[in-house]
Structure 1
């Protein structure tokens, strides 16, 4: 077998092994070292079994990941998210927004979506947002006689917005994998994120207006709350979290702090917020640190394994084979984008977003110059596309998170049915973004020029 054929065997074997359920990070490292041992084998210079350059490659890649300034922001943002999650703010926030939007059609669903979006943006942890909102908002909506599919779909869709709207951990990972400026990426993703959230809100209000039985209006006694009390509720629940997110994001976008420095500010702000709500206990602090370390370690070892695997794959000529194959298809830029996004959409069923970004997206990145596609624009399309990985059956993880804590009468098929309209809206947003790319480019150009 030639080296390029071995590279393709390496890729095919990796896909087969992960489908069997083996840990992905360690599979990447093992296959990278195993095939790399063959690729770098030099019998003339070999003095002992460990005298092979693949081990130097592995050590260098590990050091590069651990010293990467962009990745430093990940544990800090995660810590902020886990602390905020434990600050007992979500229940108060949902109640406040339910009161503030009570005159809108589908008011509780609107409140649930805004709460999900804000909480997801602060934490970036889809499972935590969907689970917590399923415990708080779903029973309230079901008690108000909301349609089961309508209520569950709102929570599943809203909980995924945090991987798109900055400060998003997914965008940090993409920036590290692609070399795109995280600051420009945050600026570019902001308007598409708001566009998608806005489309969700329009759908919710529109469906509730066309079919009021899906989301009955609350009883009139809910209107008895005074304006002063409502403002106090907003001041003590909505504004603190919103100000924390805006402060972190503003510090990054306006160049006042690097992403890592802004993340540190956010982590400190999360601690102060938890302390202000009297939710900062030693046990919760320990849990937050443990979860932060565990998730960060997973992401970092995925990077180590992926970069080792990719280096060996490229050295064997696999990257050139893929490049020649794509060139031979004679695709237009639109056709390439459609093919790439279709592959990522299908990968979203068996894999997590982190695995897709770290392992498979780098295969597409060297091909972007061939089609004159900006990696920033490509990354935002991916961030939109990955919303569907949490919402599309049969592997819609948001649905499974929600089913795990939903009342027994809620069937998984109902959650799937409620989530599918939001998948359509994700695709519509991607189409709008392709037709009007300035939605992604306007803020980066305004803040940082071309």
Structure 2
């Protein structure tokens, strides 16, 4: 039972706000030494070395770098301005534009915080100016910003691919259709809501701009085509087998620099700042990975994994009992802890059980990724809520954001359930 106690001690310390990497590493060291002595950690350097030599994980800093460079090119601002003019004449047009831009940013940057902050600064004031309902505006921005979790190239899919031992290219391919379905569901929700209650998201007056419709379409295409081309090149090279995800991430990093040149935003300072931020994010991810590695070693050596596996294998309903319990557990944990900790700590505990039950691991990974995306929105600790609150005007209350994300959380859960019940529709049977 030492491993189980260790797990709950780590969870309580995380909820108290202790640093994630040091919490995992410290708890593992204390309980591991108590149970087995220092000899248990003799193989720790070899585990660390195997991660440092892992070519799949090299894609993490490269995709992060690509996203940060694109964030600094005014990409989001130009996209939102162009799409807002294009769809502004439709009820809820600005909200639809925000969702589409969020999807494109997700595919080109994969950084949730960057997407939410960018659209919070640019899109929220515009929606409020045209009398959009505060909750609807906030919910749309938070939900569209989290699309980077499921739409490739996604950092969480790379991590899940490594943890579960699945080719990342297979996960990218499998996640594409669920991501598109989610975008369509968001847009349909906006259209239905604004049809029933037009006052929540009125259309923009079209006589405020001297541009013709053709000029609006040209400016929208000019803003969309360069980042879309980069996304198609990066994902296309993976799906066609021309390049591995790691090679395509390097291609994406170079492509982001080319786009910075095209948008005339390139400078050596921008490159240095992007590199520095990339190092910070990567260091955070790998520090958590090292702590999680020590934790999983101690958990296994103290017999915690055997107890959990026995309990999960004997659940009523077997496969479906396990899937439902795993999804509920990840959803609840997502209220309190970050997706990186869940991927490195919870998923390795669940993976052997899933394999023993004969579950399709690609399907299982997509369910986890979709579930972790929901964790960004769930009050009270959803990270997207914090990101938006940090840049929102004082007129936006925290409760406005909470109310706004609720319908989008429900949509995500419904899509998650549809993937669980009808995997064949998503090509994962």
Q: Smaller-chain TM-score range? A: over 0.9
The aligned counterpart of 2:131 is 145
The 10-residue stretch of structure 1 (377-386 or 32-41) with the greater mean CA deviation from structure 2: 32-41
Q: Does 1:391 align with 2:380?
A: no
Is 2:315–2:322's contact at 8 Å kept on the other side of the alignment? no
The reply on whether 1:23 has 2:23 as its aligned counterpart is no
CA distance in 2, matches of 1:276, 1:245: 16
User: Which residue, 344, 356, 361 being the options, matches 1:375?
Assistant: 361
Asked if structure 2 preserves the Cα contact closer than 8 Å seen for 1:33 and 1:58, the reply is no
- Give the alignment partner of residue 351 of structure 1, picking from 337, 362, 368: 337
Residues matched between the structures, number: 429
**Alpha-carbon distance between aligned partners in 1 of 2:14 and 2:253, rounded to the nearest angstrom:** 34
**Matched residue SS, 1:387:** helix
Deviation at 1:82, TM superposition (A): 0.2
Segment of structure 1 superposing worse, 297-306 or 352-361: 297-306
Give the Cα–Cα distance (whole angstroms) in 2 for the partners of residues 220 and 312 of structure 1.
63
Equivalent position to 1:257, from 243, 259, 263: 243
Q: CA deviation at 1:168?
A: 0.5
Tell me how far apart the structure 2 counterparts of residues 306 and 397 of structure 1 sit (CA, whole Å).
21
Matched, 1:114 2:110: no
Shift of 1:376: 1.1
The Cα of 1:40 is off from its aligned counterpart by 4.4
Instruction: Work out whether 1:407 is the aligned partner of 2:393.
Output: yes
Q: Where does structure 2 lack aligned partners over 5 or more consecutive residues?
A: none
Q: CA RMSD in A?
A: 1.7
Q: Does residue 338 in structure 1 map to residue 324 in structure 2?
A: yes
Unaligned runs of 5+ in 1: 42-51, 446-450
CA contact (8 A) 2:82 2:216 kept: yes
Report the Cα distance in structure 2 between the residues aligned to 1:328 and 1:88, rounded to whole angstroms. Answer: 53
Corresponding residue number in structure 2 for 1:218: 204
TM-score by length of 1: 0.91
Alignment of 1:32-43 (within 5 A): 32-41=28-37
1:286 aligns to what? 272
Structure showing greater radius of gyration is: 1
Pairing of 1:37-76 with structure 2 (within 5 A) = 37-41=33-37, 52-76=38-62
- 8 Å CA contact 1:121–1:163 kept in 2: the answer is no
Pick aligned residue for 2:79 from 83, 90, 93: 93
Q: Matched residues in 2 for 1:433 and 1:391: separation?
A: 19
Instruction: Assess if the C-alpha contact under 8 Å between 1:349 and 1:389 holds in 2.
Output: yes
TM-score w.r.t. the length of structure 2 is 0.96
The runs of at least 4 aligned residues of structure 1 exceeding 4 Å deviation read none
The residue aligned with 2:190 is: 204
C-alpha distance after superposition, 1:349-402 (max 9, x if no partner) = 111111111111111111113332112111111111122212122222212211
